[in-house]
Amino acid sequence: MRERIKDCERLRHILEAMNVIIENKEKHSYEEIISDKIVLFGFIKHVEIIGEAVYKLTKEFRNQHPEIEWDIIEGMRHVLVHDYYKIKPEQLWSTIENDIPQLKPLIEELLNEEIK
């Protein structure tokens, strides 16, 4: 039987994917991202990782932190994975440009609380 990964480890996965997105966003413009499928799918994959890690967080943890819209993050993951043909590059870019930088400090704070 596999050992269950703890919420703390999932938060690390989220933060790691966010860092990759933020670091690489600086290297590419929106136009470059949407015109290069490999680059586009690299960003999509890291947003998926964030959503999958959120999906795997325990319900108890998510309920203890209602300040984060876990369901929206998880919902985006479902679209990226299951409804990939409906991906809107401008919506993905908005997530990369706006949502992830706003969410990152909250995830860092939660991770610091979990480590203590």
60-84 pLDDT, tens digit per residue, is 999 999 999 999 999 999 999 999 8
Please, are residues 54 and 77 in contact by the beta-carbon 8 Å criterion? yes
The yes-or-no answer on residue 65 being catalytic is no
Q: Which two tokens stand for residue 10?
A: 């999932």
Its pTM stands at 0.91
Residue at token pair 């690390």? 12
DSSP reduced 3-state for 19? helix
Q: Catalytic one among 46, 62, 65, 82?
A: 82
**Residue 2 predicted with pLDDT over 50:** no
The yes-or-no answer on residue 2 being catalytic is no
* pLDDT score recorded for residue 107: 97
Q: Taking the CB of residue 39, how many other CB atoms lie within 10 A of it?
A: 15
Q: How far, in Å, are 6, 31, 74 from residue 27 at the CA level?
A: 33, 12, 27
34-67 pLDDT, tens digit per residue, is 999 999 999 999 999 999 999 999 999 999 999 9
